[in-house]
Amino acid sequence: MWLPSLQRRLALAQTSWQLCLLAMLGGLVAALLIILFRLAIIGIQLFFLDKSDDFSTVPADIRWMLPIGGAILIGLIAAITGYKHYRLGIPFVISRIKLKYGVMPFRNTFNQFFGGILALSSGFSVGREGPSVHLGAYGASTIGKYLQLPFNSIRILAGCGIAAGISASFNTPLAAVLFVMEVVLREYRVHVFIPIMLASVVGSLMTQAVFDNTSELALLDIVAISGWHLPYLVICGIIFGVIAYVFNSNLMFLLKLFKNWPLMVRLCLAGVITAAIGYAIPLAMGAETGAIFYAVNAPDDISLLVTIFIGKMLLTLFALGLGVPGGVIGPIFGIGIVLGTLLAIVPALVTGDNSLAGTYAVLGMAGLMAATMHAPLAALVAVMELAHNPTIIVPAMLVIATAYVTAVQLFNNKSIFLLQLDFLQMPYKLSPADDVLQKVGALAMLDTNYQLLDNPDDTAVMQALDNLTPPAQVLVRRGEGNDTQFFLASYDVQLSMTGDSPLQYTPLVGLSHQVTLAEVFAILDQPREGAVYIYKQQDPCQLIGIIRWDQVRSLLVKQNNLL
């Protein structure tokens, strides 16, 4: 009996200890998937690299073969699973969260897991956070599917998995929570925030247990910035905003340019371009780690930094624009760090001190992330968590604000994820009514105040109606087995005046107990009367309750008069 009770409890849009426990379990499953994903990448890379993600250590005659071979294998996996299941990454997850309650298809996840491993192992300039978001959502939402929980709670579990996945990938638990709320769910509600926060904690603890508590930014020496740097930081913020616009607009240009090309051709082209650029600029290959390493070791080598910056931009744009499975955040980190290190050369020329290179590198990462993804708060917190230095907060806030305003107001730059969703024609917006109703499961408003009659004659139905006390209803069940149908019985005054039977039988549509009130509203909105019946997923012929139109209407009126 515990499962029906749990399902009813989670149908409510309220904080509960049951949801918190499930969130932690979902976070654990998501973290295990991400850890397995990361270990697979490291294990494969160490076959041919001296150091993970440093492709300059592999001989040139082998280095060019890696992305081409990786592209072919990614294309073969996509062909085996079916090309229609190749929609991956954060934009796909955002759309599924909004329209499918975060339920992730297995074949897409299979593509994302193995495709992401191959892409990151073979040197493509993509990030691991895209696969982390996808795999995290799949792992946590699968628990909700298995328990047949209401869809509103499965959506929260998917958000928990995403937070745990990002936290397990970067060891940034608070930034992971804010990224989910700011970019994926795009809302802040306490009953959602608490379980997502707990899942993120689990993801962070798991990754610390396996990969320890260090981050790539620990290589950077971050020092306090004096007040005279602040005007220059505003200029830096403007530059970051411009680069964010250049990045987003060129990525969308490439997506549109190659959209009609066969997937295998696009992947092979991405492999060839990565092989060519990587042969000449191996430091630009991989995710963000290589860029960080060389920004630290050569902060005053302008030609090297410019070369890495241009190579990293081109590799990232072509990899993502041609459909290589991976994320954008990791490369953005790398590009921002190299750009920030370049901008640090100007104050270094004035003062003769190169010690600020690490600080400017981190500010570049924060500014570019905020302007590219429209996630200023997540960018700020990510910097705080990765840098482990409170002196970075004030300059980071100034840079982030300037970069974001520049990108939005001067260039009308949208989030890269929303641009991709619009291009892919994947819906992600809800009507105000659906936005409210999707947060409440049907079980939360289940009405059992009715009388159910099995195959009655009209006399029995009229007797039941005469003894009825509103708002109770009379339901009629006709047929057996798979042919069972339910009807709502009522008097029709117009029929009685013609001499016909005064009874009216309105067919009822049945919905699974997992649905939210949004699905109920979709059926009852047009007639604006009547009811639907709710059944258990495993037994569609067994009615467990009804939901009336006036119940849905009452909730919408209560929520900002949406009717």
For domain 441-558, the CATH class is: alpha beta
Which pLDDT tens digit goes with each residue over 313-369? 999 999 999 999 988 988 998 899 999 999 988 888 877 767 788 889 889 999 999
Give the whole-number percent of the chain exceeding pLDDT 70.
94
Measured in residues, the chain has a length of 563
Which pLDDT tens digit goes with each residue over 15-55? 889 999 999 999 999 999 999 999 999 899 888 877 777 78
* Dist CA 99 CA 87 (whole Å): 15
pTM score of the predicted model: 0.90
Burial class (CB in 10 A: 0-12, 13-18, 19+), 53: buried
Q: In the numeric block, which tokens belong to residue 423?
A: 């291009």
How sure is the predictor about 480, in pLDDT bands with cuts at 50, 70 and 90?
confident
Residue 295 pLDDT greater than 80, yes or no: no
* Dist CA 446 CA 404 (whole Å): 46
Residue 321: per-residue pLDDT: 92
Residue 244: per-residue pLDDT: 95
Q: In the numeric block, which tokens belong to residue 237?
A: 């913020």
* Dist CA 429 CA 445 (whole Å): 25
Which pLDDT tens digit goes with each residue over 70-98? 999 999 999 988 878 788 888 999 999 98
Q: Read off the pLDDT of each residue in 550-560 and give the average, rounded to a whole number.
A: 83
Cβ atoms within 10 A of the Cβ of 487, count?
A: 19
User: Do 441-558 and 2-429 fall under one CATH topology?
Assistant: no
Q: Which of 122, 158, 125 is nearest to 140 (CA)?
A: 158
54: left (phi over 0), alpha (psi -120 to 50) or beta: beta
How sure is the predictor about 397, in pLDDT bands with cuts at 50, 70 and 90?
very high
DSSP states of 119-166 as a string? HHHTT-S-BSHHHHHHHHHHHHHHHHHHTT--HHHHHHHHHHHHHHHH
Amino acid 440 reads V
Q: Read off the pLDDT of each residue in 124-129 and give the average, rounded to a whole number.
A: 89
CATH of 2-429, one of 1.20.1300.10, 3.90.1150.10, 1.10.3080.10, 3.10.270.10: 1.10.3080.10
Order of strands, sheet of 473-478, starting from the edge strand that comes earlier in the sequence:
450-454, 473-478, 485-491, 503-507
Amino acid 352 reads G
* Dist CA 381 CA 496 (whole Å): 69
Residue 367: per-residue pLDDT: 95
Which pLDDT tens digit goes with each residue over 494-512? 655 555 668 888 888 889 9
> Which residues, 6 or more positions from 340, have their beta carbon under 8 angstroms from its beta carbon?
236, 295, 360, 361, 362, 363, 364, 365, 367
Q: In the numeric block, which tokens belong to residue 255?
A: 């997506």
Q: Read off the pLDDT of each residue in 162-185 and give the average, rounded to a whole number.
A: 89
Q: Which residue has the tokens 């241009």?
A: 310
The mean predicted confidence, pLDDT, of the chain is 87
3-state secondary structure 238-283: HHHHHHHHHHHHHHHHHHHHCCCCCHHHHHHHHHHHHHHHHHHCHH
Q: Where are the domains of the chain?
A: 2-429, 441-558
Which pLDDT tens digit goes with each residue over 355-378? 788 889 889 999 999 999 998 998
